[in-house]
Amino acid sequence: METNMDVDYVISYRFANTDKSHAAAQFEKLVQALASVGLDTEVRKGDKHSVLLFVRVASEEHLFGEVYRSRVHDWIHGVRTAAPPKETREALEADPLYEAERLRIIYQLITHPTSEGGAGITPKEGEWENVESIFTLHDHAYNKDWIKKWSTSYFLKTEDLDDIRNRLGEKVAFYFAFTQAYFQFLIFPAAVGFGAWMFLGHFSPIYGIINAVWCTIFTEWWKHQETDLAVRWGVRGVSRMEIKRRDFKHEKQLTDPVTGEKVLIFPATKRLQRQVLQIPFALCAAAVLGALIATTFSIEVFISEIYNGPFKSALVFLPTGIATTAMPILSSILTNFATQLTKYENYETQGAYERSLTQKIFVLNFITSYLPIFLTAFVYVPFGRILVPYLDVFSLTVKPFAENEKQMKVPSRSTFSINPDRLRKQVIYFTVTAQIVNLGMELVVPYLKRQGFSKYKQIQSDRAAKREGTPPQAHAEDPAEDAAFLARVRQEAELDVYDVTADLREMVLQFGYLSLFSVVWPLTAVSFLINDWVELRADAIKICVEMQRPIPWRADTIGPWLDSLSFLTWLGSLTTSALVYLFSNDGLGPDGTPASISGWALLLTILFSEHAFILLRFGIQKAISKIDSPGRQKERRDRYLVRKQYFEESISRLNKAPRMVDAGEKLSRESLEEDARTSSLSGNLMNPEKRFWARQKGWRETAGVGRGLIERAEMDVSPERKKEL
């Protein structure tokens, strides 16, 4: 029904800000570059200032060549165990091309530098700044099936993930696999959490321990599972295949004297110096974001628990207002700064760049996501009585509304009592409300944006039509039979690019709430379980409807987020034990004010639980590493077969000399006489080594002499033994 016209990629070429003749010349160059690597092209009108260039592989022959090249590359870098068969057609029969592989290879053909056999098209950069985007087209029939299937099933099977991998590539598939694994894993803590919520009371150490163990098992198990999936999808090791960053600036260029390879060098010490800037950056970010959070937090405490004047119910939302306005602005400034800093660190490979950027983004997100709860748990509750008197500075915020000073009077230490529900309410806010809002934002905002944008365009072109009297059909020249297709392509050209790391980050941060704070409110996992079922489907819809079809990149891991997971489980062992110790000590009463907290006991609890955690993790790692899996079996088998084949091939080249030293050799009178003659002839010229080895000839003689020695030795001993008896 909805054909993609065999189009592999669409290149949107925009010339709004360029001189027309230059734009046309560049366009010609573009088309020529694509043709030079074996790609067919067709051009159509885009919107007012762009044309759409449709690209497909000119012939299967070309494609097979590229596939073979790519597979040889994989083999050399250890991703494939064996070299692909020499005949490409045979190779494709043994190991068929899947859609994502095909699309990836073509994308690389378009974007790789000419030195590596590509067309060297780099969107929005340098020579190709008019190339606005390179995207591939959605397969609407498949998308429809996909969403229908997922929205009617509780669990996703590995085959469903295989499907994603075949269509959208391993990187996206790894996100869905991770989220699905996490979703399944949530069932157990959700059940335990529900039980704990029903029967165990607040801050149950039992729930805390189970939760910490389970989070550790999940993290370690996922590492195991990841390898298995990577083997299943034939991508194990691709993350080691470093892709050079195009923006890398070298200081020196050396030619290796041995290999003749050109090496671009940027001194590691210099990079290290630049990396050190991360520390002040993290501190600054923590200070800025922390100050904002602490301020709004204090204002909120002041208004909700001290202020007693008019408009209280409205003013309570003031701090939230400040936070929701200022936080995204600050966050985006800091994220921008982090990106700049990472660029400045000048990494040589794409992988290193992404790792470094992810670390910084994680720090920022860590602060914005968890600091408010940390403040409540470890500052407000234990030190509230001490700190509250200093809150009168915030009376400024409500001064215009207060009727008298008394309404803003800060209570003395003795009269102020801490709001015991604040911590729980906050955790519930972050784990339920914020998650729902977030999910809504992900789906609704882009929809509204798109609607608004198309409305705006409609109005504009209506206005133009009125003014000029031309009909509003901008694309009247489209042939009737292509019109629907072209309209669809134009619409897809305007969509956003899907960023899988943003979705992954969301999941990791969600996992953080579970690991760090779920002991406060054990229903956390229940909320997440429901949320993630929807999330998985919502992300599928998002990809299908609101985003351009993602370029099918490969991956063999969820990457640096794995470190974040490990970090969060470790930190969870600290926070959970501290929370349990601070809040669950019986006899403290429900008001949560710890009367008899002793520093050494808290520290001992933390110290103990941290080391118990490290030991436990070590044990779990060991145990999980022992688990076999289909992927591992497959890998072992492949390796074994390849080794066997290579070994046999190599050994067969060896000209087989008879290994037996003297097979068939006989001691005859003649040979002995012959020996004696040579020996006497060469006389003293024969060296002692030769004489030593000449005494026994062939293994039979050695065996015979040995037999003699053994028998005589026996006789030597016998008389002695007899005497001794």
Site for a copy of itself in 462-501 (CB under 8 A): 464, 467-468, 481-482, 485
Give the list of residues 6+ apart from residue 340 with CB closer than 8 angstroms, or none. Answer: none
Nearer to a copy of itself, 293 or 486 (CB): 486
Residues 608-637 contacting a copy of itself, CB under 8 A = 623, 626-628, 637
Q: Does 721 bind a copy of itself (CB under 8 A)?
A: no
Spatial separation of the C-alpha atoms in residues 446 and 565, rounded to whole Å? 29
Helices (H), 152-234: 158-168, 170-195, 205-232
Q: Which amino acid is at 123?
A: P
Contact 488, 2 (CB under 8 A): yes
Nearer to a copy of itself, 591 or 711 (CB): 711
Q: Counting contacts by CB under 8 A, is residue 156 touching a copy of itself?
A: no
Residue 68 lies near a copy of itself (rule: CB under 8 A):
yes
Q: Which of residues 297-356 bind a copy of itself (CB under 8 A)?
A: none
Q: Is 13 within 8 Å of 50 (Cβ atoms)?
A: yes
Among 38, 290, 446, 594, binds a copy of itself (CB under 8 A): 38
Q: Closest approach of Cβ 419 to a copy of itself, in Å?
A: 28
Site for a copy of itself in 656-715 (CB under 8 A): 657, 659-662, 688-689, 691-693, 695-696, 698-699, 702-703, 705-707, 709-711, 713-714
Whichever of 587 and 599 has its CB closer to a copy of itself, that residue is: 599
Site residue total, a copy of itself (CB under 8 A): 110
Select from 1, 654, 681, 685 the one that contacts a copy of itself (CB under 8 A): 654
Shortest approach of a copy of itself to residue 528 CB, angstroms? 29
Which of 54/107 has CB closer to a copy of itself?
54
- Minimum distance, C-beta of residue 179 to a copy of itself, in the bound complex (Å): 29
Q: Which is nearer to a copy of itself, 206 or 263 (CB)?
A: 263
User: Can you tell me the distance from the alpha carbon of 478 to that of 485, in angstroms, rounded to the nearest whole number?
Assistant: 10
Which among 78-86, 225-233, 294-302, 362-370 is the span making contact with a copy of itself, rule CB under 8 A? 78-86
Q: In the complex, what is the shortest distance from the CB of residue 51 to a copy of itself, in angstroms, rounded to a whole number?
A: 5
Contact 154, 536 (CB under 8 A): no
End-to-end CA distance of the chain: 106
Is residue 72 close enough to count as binding a copy of itself by CB under 8 A?
yes
Minimum CB–partner distance for residue 73 and a copy of itself (Å)? 7
Neighbour count for residue 523 (Cβ, 10 Å): 19
Residues 6+ apart with CB under 8 A from 513: 369, 370, 427, 430, 431, 524, 528
Q: Which segment (27-35, 134-142, 166-174, 292-300) binds a copy of itself by CB under 8 A?
A: 27-35
The residues in 257-276 that bind a copy of itself, with binding defined as CB under 8 A, are 258-259, 261, 268, 271-272
Q: What residues does 689 pair with on adjacent strands?
A: none
List for the chain the helix, strand, coil content (%; round to 5).
70, 5, 25
Nearer to a copy of itself, 159 or 720 (CB): 720
- 643 lines the binding site for a copy of itself (CB under 8 A): yes
Look at the block and give the residue holding tokens 């960053």. 245
Using CB under 8 A as the binding rule, whether residue 27 contacts a copy of itself is answered as yes
Which neighbouring-strand residues pair with 244? 349
Residue 458 contacts a copy of itself per CB under 8 A? no
Q: C-beta of 268: minimal distance to a copy of itself in Å?
A: 4
Two tokens, residue 2: 């909805």
Task: Tell me the C-alpha distance between 55 and 31, whole Å.
Answer: 9
Amino acid identity, position 356: S
Region binding a copy of itself by CB under 8 A among candidate stretches 302-310, 445-453, 603-611, 675-683 = 603-611
Distance CA 563, CA 168 (A): 25
Pick from 154, 159, 199, 256: which binds a copy of itself (CB under 8 A)? 256
- Contact between 606 and a copy of itself per CB under 8 A: yes
Closer to a copy of itself by CB, 68 or 182: give it: 68
Please, what is the minimum distance in Å from the beta carbon of residue 623 to a copy of itself?
7
Minimum CB distance to a copy of itself smaller for 660 or for 725: 660
Q: How far is the CB of 398 from a copy of itself (least distance, A)?
A: 39
Distance CA 56, CA 59 (A): 9
51 belongs to the binding site for a copy of itself (CB under 8 A): yes
Residue 280 binds to a copy of itself (criterion: CB under 8 A): no
Report which of 292, 245, 283, 288 is spatially closest to residue 264, judged by C-alpha positions: 245
Identify the helix (H) or strand (E) that includes residue 486.
helix 480-493
Q: Please, what is the minimum distance in Å from the beta carbon of residue 693 to a copy of itself?
A: 6
Q: Quick one: which of 96, 400, 587, 719 contacts a copy of itself (CB under 8 A)?
A: 719
* 367 Cβ contact partners less than 8 Å away, ≥ 6 residues apart: 285, 286, 289, 290, 293
Does residue 448 belong to the site contacting a copy of itself (CB under 8 A)? no
Q: Reduced to 3 states, what is the DSSP secondary structure of residue 169? A: coil
Q: What CA–CA distance (Å, rounded) separates 360 from 223?
A: 22
Q: Does 48 bind a copy of itself (CB under 8 A)?
A: yes
> What minimum distance in Å lies between the beta carbon of 717 and a copy of itself?
6
Q: Could you tell me which of 111, 154, 162, 132 has the C-alpha nearest to residue 12?
A: 132
Contact (CB, 8 A) for 52 and 44: yes
Tokens of 489: 């392509």
Report the alpha-carbon distance of residue 628 to residue 626 in Å, rounded.
6
Residue placing its CB nearer to a copy of itself in the complex, 44 or 542:
44
Give the SS3 label for residue 52: strand
> Among 15, 175, 347, 353, which residue sits at the site for a copy of itself (rule: CB under 8 A)?
15
Distance CA 671, CA 697 (A): 10
Maximum Cα–Cα distance across the chain = 136
- Cβ neighbors of 580 (< 8 A, separation 6 or more) are 203, 204, 205, 208, 519, 605
Q: What is the contact mask toward a copy of itself in residues 85 to 124, using x (rule: CB under 8 A)? A: -x-x------------------------------------
Name the nearest CA neighbour of 369 among 277, 505, 525, 200: 505
Residue choice 159, 280, 720, 722 for contact with a copy of itself (CB under 8 A): 720
Q: What is the nearest approach in angstroms of a copy of itself to the Cβ of residue 112? A: 13
Phi (first) and psi of residue 132, to 5 degrees: -75, -45
Q: Which residue's CB is nearer to a copy of itself, number 38 or number 594? A: 38
Q: Which is nearer to a copy of itself, 670 or 689 (CB)?
A: 689
Q: Is residue 647 near a copy of itself by the rule CB under 8 A?
A: yes
What DSSP element (H or E) covers 300?
helix 278-301
- The C-alpha atoms of residue 259 and residue 263 are separated, in whole angstroms, by 10
* Shortest Å, Cβ 519 to a copy of itself: 21
Query: In terms of CB distance, is 60 or 392 closer to a copy of itself?
Result: 60
Site string for a copy of itself, 205-244 (x = CB under 8 A): ----------------------------------------
- Give the side-chain half-sphere CA count within 13 A for 469: 0
Q: Which residues contact 235 (CB under 8 A, 6 or more apart)?
A: 79, 170, 554, 555, 556
**Interacting span for a copy of itself (CB under 8 A) from 205-213, 341-349, 371-379, 716-724:** 716-724
Residue 651 is a binding residue for a copy of itself (CB under 8 A): yes
Beta bridge partners of 133: 12
Residue 58 engages a copy of itself in binding (rule: CB under 8 A): yes
- Give the whole-angstrom CA distance, residue 22 versus residue 26: 6
Q: Which residue stretch of 74-82, 134-142, 427-435, 512-520 sits at the interface with a copy of itself (rule: CB under 8 A)?
A: 74-82
Q: Which of residues 379 and 410 has its CB atom nearest to a copy of itself in the complex?
A: 379
